[in-house]
Amino acid sequence: MTMSHTGGRRRPPTIHDVAREAGVSRGTVSRVLNGGHYVSPAAQEAVDAAIRRTGYVVNRHARSLITGRSDSVGFLLTEPQERFFEDPNFNVLLRGCTQALAAHDVPLLLMLAGTQDERRRITRYITAGHVDGVLLVSSHSGDPVAEELREAGVPLVACGKPIGLGSKVSYVAADDRDGARDMVRHLLSLGRRRIGVVTGPLDTPGGVERLAGYREVLAEAGIAADERLVVSGDYSRASGEAGAERLLARTPDMDAVFVASDLMAQGVLAALHRAGKRVPDDVAVGGFDDSPAATAASPALTTIRQPWDRISTEMVRVLLAQLGGEDPAAVILPTELVRRDST
């Protein structure tokens, strides 16, 4: 490892040390560090090997002064802080995005903005240039963050299609509607006909699309719509429990429930158990996400698997492409029915 000593103290390796070790010019090393444009494969390999041997670490602050970029990305969750710790999906997505960005040596900054004041402060921070782009999670209609960031020219990728922004913002989403259709068809295949639903928030794309899929399949099966079988939740366990209680009070003959998240489904199972309903004998229960909450439930949940690894990888890919000058893009990924003991 190349390392100089000054006054008995080790000096960290510099770009000059890397260039000398690799046998190339300082300019070549600089081009490698800034994306590898106009660098031959042989020179790229020599510089990469020299960086490993010398232990050179990029001085991000110095580089940001030159490039005008922060070399970091924000992971923005516009939900109350307690939701981040309760809902396992957020942690899975955060971990996946962190790993995908680490492969490009880009750090990820977690930002929680659950109140209007917090969203205003975070928006000011982002538009001041403290991050190069944003991965936006949980965008409700009426939430101005996505629109404000877009108007400010901040590269942005949303998890799920932001309601009302259409093709103006890049997004990566699971096929919520098709996943809901698969679950309701599965419940119908078991002979269930009085199928309730606990929706997600109806100001979010997942809430709207999963309810639409539920309704479409019942209509295809010739089952008349019964709004007493539809209640809304907010993806929390408590809202699932309250939703199941409302369904049981309205429609005691209900024989199945499609729940728009696994965490809410845990609450539904608790309410059914308290009411003396056996799962799946009396009431079959299907969730959505295939999060850790699905396997932790008792009985284990039949659910719709969202491909979280692919969602996080694609969000990072699309954002980095935008940072490289590409136009906004939309990616919709398929879901999968996972059968367990609750149906």
- Options 1.10.730.10, 1.10.3720.10, 1.10.260.40, 3.40.50.620; CATH of 15-58: 1.10.260.40
CB of 23 within 8 A of CB of 46?
yes
Query: Do 15-58 and 73-175+308-334 have matching folds?
Result: no
* Sequence ranges of the domains in the chain: 15-58, 73-175+308-334, 176-305
Residue 299 preceded by cis peptide, ω within 30: yes
pLDDT tens column, 106-115:
999 999 888 8
Question: Nearest 5°: CA angle at 262, between 258 and 267?
Answer: 85
Residue reference for tokens 């190339």: 24
Query: Per-residue b/e over 219-229, b at no fewer than 16 CB within 10 Å?
Result: eeeebeeeeeb
Predicted confidence pLDDT, tens digits, the chain (343 residues): 444 444 445 677 888 888 999 999 888 887 787 666 678 889 889 988 998 888 877 655 455 444 445 578 999 998 777 777 788 888 899 999 999 999 888 999 999 888 889 888 999 999 888 899 999 987 666 667 888 888 888 999 999 888 776 667 899 999 999 999 999 999 999 999 999 999 999 988 899 999 999 999 999 999 998 999 999 999 999 999 999 999 999 999 999 999 999 999 999 999 999 999 999 999 999 999 999 999 999 999 999 999 999 999 999 999 999 988 888 899 999 999 999 999 9
pLDDT tens column, 231-281:
999 999 999 999 999 999 999 999 999 999 999 999 999 999 999 999 999
* Beta-ladder partners of 230: 197
- Supply the DSSP symbol for 127: I
Q: Does domain 176-305 sit in CATH 3.40.50.720? A: no
What fold, for 73-175+308-334?
A: Rossmann fold (3.40.50)
